[in-house]
Amino acid sequence: MSTGLELKTCDIAALVRSGKRSAVDVTQAVLADIEARDSTLNCVTRLLHERALQAAAEVDRKVAAGEDPGALAGVPFGIKDLFDVQGQITTAGSVVLRNDPPTDEDAVLVARLLEAGAIPVALTNMDEFAYGFATDNAHNGVTRNPHAPDRLAGGSSGGSAAGVAASMFSLGLGSDTNGSIRVPASLCGVWGLRATQGRLSVEGSYPFVASLDTVGPFADSASGLQACFEALTKETMGPVDTANLRIARLGGWFADNMSAPMQAAVDGLAEFLGAGTVVELPEVARARAAAFIISASEGAALHLDRLKERAADYDPAVRDRLLAGALLPATLIFKAHRLRNWFRAEMHKAFTDVDVLIAPAVVGESPRFDEPLIEVGGEMVSARANLGLYTQPLTLAGFPVLTVPLVVPGLPLGAQLVARPGREDILLALGRRLEESGIALARRV
């Protein structure tokens, strides 16, 4: 029996809605496929057998009764293990929370996908407490890249991104504070959306940095991403004329340190979109530093009391970064927030004559997990801390960013498309155009 995942999100939903495919059959095949293959990739921390089959049976019941089963009927999705799922313990990738009571209700985003008929099949691996770019978890192990299992999937939402890339499920939920959707989407070759900060509810998701946290989806296709986003927002995207969009490239910081393949890929994307103009944002290095400071200080404040009692239970790399954050002086934190407000205003200025800005998502191809290093400024530095080189500065402004999986030879590469706050419709329409043209395409293993 086929899992159905040789088909894209909207095709699966159309077959289930029409009664040509059973949601229960699709779900059973998906669960069996994950059990058979995930031992190699380590995308999943828990399978949701009972919950998935109950949801699938309800979809089939609605179809048989002539009721609307939802726009995403029968589509399987994975859930980063910091979202509440009814009856499950939300661990946020840590043993520290494993003895907490199971949650009583679903996170808002989980509930909205269920309302749309999607099927929750698994909780997915992540960096502990979302603090990292590698999905290298001291408790649950490393998630491997489906395109090259000796390489990183990226993080901290790597389990969701890799699961979509490996065709284990069609959609995935992730969070993005400093790049945790954009980095793994690029390295795994899938579509990812960091929504405008505040547009998607974080209710029911374990926090990392409250003033920066965002949530969003991964998908197997541009159309699937739009269908997922519409379900999450309960809004329908209107038409957008992409032919008349004013598109420019981000230069300066965002033009340095790219690998040759990434440079070629971004050049090709810019040429196709007619993005001949280059925009340089001011003080990008300081913006990235501010993101580091805000993340470290707020993360430390959240965990400090628990660290005093249970420091040995934390991933050592996460623990040390949180403890360092606790030592930051208040004056420095204040300056970081003040810079954030200034940088947001500068981002708005950058869009005065532009609708979309293009930037690389990462410096290049995924690094090997046994040599987790990338080249920055001519030196080899930690991938876990620096894969967000191009994503962290944009974090401060809270603008929506679409990660586009570019069609390139070799390992996956992704670009960031940035729009004004609330203009996800522009990004999604442009994504569909790029997919239809063959410039961007979901890559399946």
Residues annotated as catalytic are 80, 156, 180
The one-letter amino acid code at 63 reads V
- DSSP labels, 329-366: -HHHHHHHHHHHHHHHHHHHHHTSS-SEEEEESSSSSP
Which tokens hold the place of 363? 């410096």
What is the C-alpha to C-alpha distance for residues 161 and 359, in angstroms, rounded to an integer? 20
Strands (E), 9-161: 44-47, 76-80, 119-124, 136-137, 141-142, 144-145, 148-152
Six-digit token string for 380: 């080899």
User: Would you state the structure tokens that stand for residue 393, as one six-digit string?
Assistant: 């500065």
The interaxial angle of helices 23-41 and 9-18, nearest 10 deg, is: 150
Measured CA angle at 311 (ends 368, 295), to 5 deg? 60
Place of tokens 């409250």: 210
Residues 6+ apart with CB under 8 A from 305: none
Rg, the chain, Cα only: 20
Q: What is the DSSP track for 233-276?
A: HT--PPP--GGG--EEEE-GGGGSS--HHHHHHHHHHHHHHT--
Q: Are strands 136-137 and 119-124 parallel, antiparallel or unpaired?
A: unpaired
Strand residues in 19-147 grouped as ranges (E)? 44-47, 76-80, 119-124, 136-137, 141-142, 144-145
Q: Give the 3-state secondary structure of residue 34.
A: helix
Neighbours of 246 (CB within 10 A): 13
Burial grade of 242 (CB within 10 A; 0-12, 13-18, 19 or more): middle
Give the integer Cα–Cα distance in Å for 110 and 112.
5
Q: What is the largest CA-CA distance in the chain?
A: 63
Question: CA nearest 248: which of 277, 280, 281?
Answer: 277
- Structure tokens that stand for 62 in this block: 């609605």
